[in-house]
Amino acid sequence: MVRKAQSYPTTNRQLRLAIHTAKKSALLYSASDIEVLWDDQLDHHPFLSRIGPDVLSPETTVKQVAQRLMETAFYRRRLTTLLLDQQFLSGLGNYLRSEILFAAGVHPTLRPVDCTPAQIQRLAEQAIALPRQSYETGGITNDLGRVAQLKEQGLTRSKYRFYVFSRAAQPCYQCGTSIIKDQIGGRRCYYCPTCQIHP
């Protein structure tokens, strides 16, 4: 959490790291594993030196992600595994996996090598666009025009937030088909069998 400088919350949690400026303090509680590194140490860190481009970094481009999807290290792996692999792209969590596949119109069992060039392009676009929209809106990945309509109808955030994630057996916003929930690699994955047709 970030608070006014030197102002601490009442908590039983253990303060592990604090960074102070004249105006603000950034406080990290209850973290189990912390390393504080200089820039040049990042290049030699066993995990951080190998992570993929950060989807929220302005330097990460759609073109770069599209090229990465076609690299030999990645293109025969299932997209459901790839999208959660921080060595492919960093910053994608489990809900974004379902949302990106839906927005790109790609069935969750496919690998990049099974996709058309248009699907690769859409996957790359959505892998950048959705995390950024989510970051700016506090976690909303659904179409923002639709969100405004659903809000007007009185729906709560949990109901309008996602395209498909956590919407098992509810009608797809685009076509009305029931959303399917699958368990892939021990993590929940949701998709629309009509919008994400299996070729």
178 and 169 Cβ atoms separated by less than 8 Å: yes
Q: Which of 188, 47, 75, 137 is nearest to 179 (CA)?
A: 188
Q: Minimum distance between the CB of residue 195 and Zn ion, rounded to whole angstroms?
A: 3
194 near Zn ion, judged by CB under 5 A? yes
The structure tokens 């996602």 sit at 162
Least distance in Å: CB of 83 to Zn ion?
Answer: 19
Please identify, using beta-carbon distances, which residue of 48 and 147 lies nearer to Zn ion: 147
Q: Is 192 in the site for Zn ion (CB under 5 A)?
A: yes
Select from 51-59, 135-143, 152-160, 185-193 the region that touches Zn ion (CB under 5 A).
185-193
Determine contact, residues 160/148, Cβ cutoff 8 Å: no
Q: Does 92 bind Zn ion (CB under 5 A)?
A: no
Counting every residue written for the chain, the total comes to 199
- Exactly one of 110, 124, 130, 195 binds Zn ion (CB under 5 A); that residue is 195
The secondary structure element, H or E, covering residue 144 is helix 144-152
Nearest residue to Zn ion by CB is 172
Range 124-183, binding Zn ion (CB under 5 A): 172, 174-175, 177
Q: Which is nearer to Zn ion, 41 or 149 (CB)?
A: 149
Residue 182 and residue 189 in contact, taking contact as beta carbons nearer than 8 Å = yes
Query: Torsions phi, psi of 41, nearest 5?
Result: -75, -25
Asked whether position 19 contacts Zn ion by CB under 5 A, the answer is no
Q: How is residue 50 annotated by DSSP? A: G
For the bound state, the minimum distance from the C-beta of residue 174 to Zn ion, rounded and expressed in Å, comes to 4
Please tell me whether residue 49 binds Zn ion under the rule CB under 5 A.
Answer: no
- Report the alpha-carbon distance of residue 41 to residue 195 in Å, rounded: 45
Contact residues for Zn ion (CB under 5 A)?
172, 174-175, 177, 192, 194-195
